[in-house]
Amino acid sequence: MKFFYTLLFLTIPLWSLSHYHVVDEAITYQNKPYRAIRSFEKEKILHHLIVNEMTLETHIIQQRIQKIDSNPATPYQKLLDKYTQPPYLLQNYGVVSIESDKIYITTDLCPSSQKGYEREFYQKLIKHYPNPVEITLFISGKWIDKHPQAFQELKKWEDQKRLSITWGNHTHTHPYHPKAPLANNFLLSKGVDIEKELLGVEKKLIEQGVTPSIFFRFPGLVQNEKAIKTLKRLGLIAVGSNAWLAKGEKIQKGSIILLHGNKNEPQGIEKANILFQSKLYTIGSLLDIVQ
């Protein structure tokens, strides 16, 4: 019974948000160009989720925004245009690598029936690399709901500056049908509200005191033109991978590495542990895409 109450406590949001809306306003904040992409009320006070148009960093502010003329030539706007252009691939659309000598570690936290998570993997990264270790977590709302203690531990490592986490969007429920073809699966499944899926996990993260990034990973790396255009309208950038380790893809300079932190692909984690303990690589942040 004691465990039940602990679990219940961990799933209670720090704040309750209301009127969570998509906006698209060029603004100035601290004398720098930003884009307001969401508005919402927290404790009855208006807040905005904003993006630095030069660095892609996101912040949450509660002050009134000062609108300015939009600049289509900022790095953020250029990237939004670049990664919403045809051809609209069915799989692995978006940023798959970065021109860099570094590597980029991303772990997907999809809904899973597995107990726990790849805790030892994150601990090994913390042990073998200078802290805070850069990492992107593509997280789903359902995974947070089912693994609240794991989520809180990841947040704690961020607060302790052991991990520098970019909180990526991996949809709220991560729909999946094992027998369905890709063109009718994941976010492309019948009846799925794509916008609701994307905004749902953002809202959950903010309620838990986390600032979402503008990076998004399609479940199964599956998408179509409609999904990609929805992503642009919401101001998000798709991130794929050229090094899905569980599928045997090799790491190269600039690789965006795909691993699953939810215990669904232990073979990928095993390969990563061997590679990363060698310390052959320098780990970067996805924000390097603007360099």
pLDDT average, residue stretch 7-23: 77
| Same domain, residue pair 131 and 69 | no
* pLDDT at residue 247 is higher than 90: yes
| Same domain, residue pair 236 and 173 | yes
* pLDDT at residue 15 is higher than 90: no
How confident is the model over 171-219, as pLDDT tens digits?
Answer: 999 999 999 999 999 999 999 999 999 999 999 999 999 999 999 999 9
| Same domain, residue pair 64 and 133 | no
Domain span holding position 45: 15-77
Listed residues 43, 77, 111: the one ending a domain: 77
| Same domain, residue pair 51 and 108 | no
| Same domain, residue pair 118 and 138 | yes
| Same domain, residue pair 158 and 266 | yes
| Same domain, residue pair 84 and 68 | no
- Report DSSP letters for 9-78, one per residue: HHHS-SS-EEEEEEEEEEEEETTEEEEEEEEEEETTEEEEEEEETTT--EEEE-SPPEE----TTSHHHH
Tell me, rounded to whole angstroms, the distance of Cα 238 from its chain centroid: 9
Spatial distance between the Cα atoms of 66 and 151, rounded to a whole number of angstroms: 35
Residue 35 lies in a domain: yes
The dihedrals phi and psi of 95, each to the nearest 5 degrees, come to -75, 120
Ramachandran bin of 16, using left for φ above 0, alpha for ψ from -120 to 50, beta for the remaining angles: beta
Find the CATH number of the domain harbouring 159: 3.20.20.370
Place of tokens 């979402």: 212
Listed residues 35, 59, 77: the one ending a domain: 77
Average pLDDT over the chain, rounded to an integer: 94
Q: Are 203 and 20 in contact (CB under 8 A)?
A: yes
State the burial class of residue 40 (Cβ atoms within 10 Å of its Cβ: 0-12, 13-18, 19+). buried
| Same domain, residue pair 68 and 87 | no
Residue 7 lies in a domain: no
Listed residues 47, 77, 107: the one ending a domain: 77
**Interior angle at CA 33, CA 159 and CA 43, nearest 5:** 50
Residue 85 lies in a domain: yes
How confident is the model over 22-53, as pLDDT tens digits?
Answer: 999 999 999 999 999 999 999 899 999 999 99
Q: How many structural domains comprise the chain?
A: 2
| Same domain, residue pair 40 and 125 | no
* pLDDT at residue 4 is higher than 90: no
* pLDDT at residue 291 is higher than 90: no
| Same domain, residue pair 137 and 239 | yes
Instruction: Please report which confidence band the pLDDT of residue 3 belongs to, taking 50, 70 and 90 as the band edges.
Output: very low
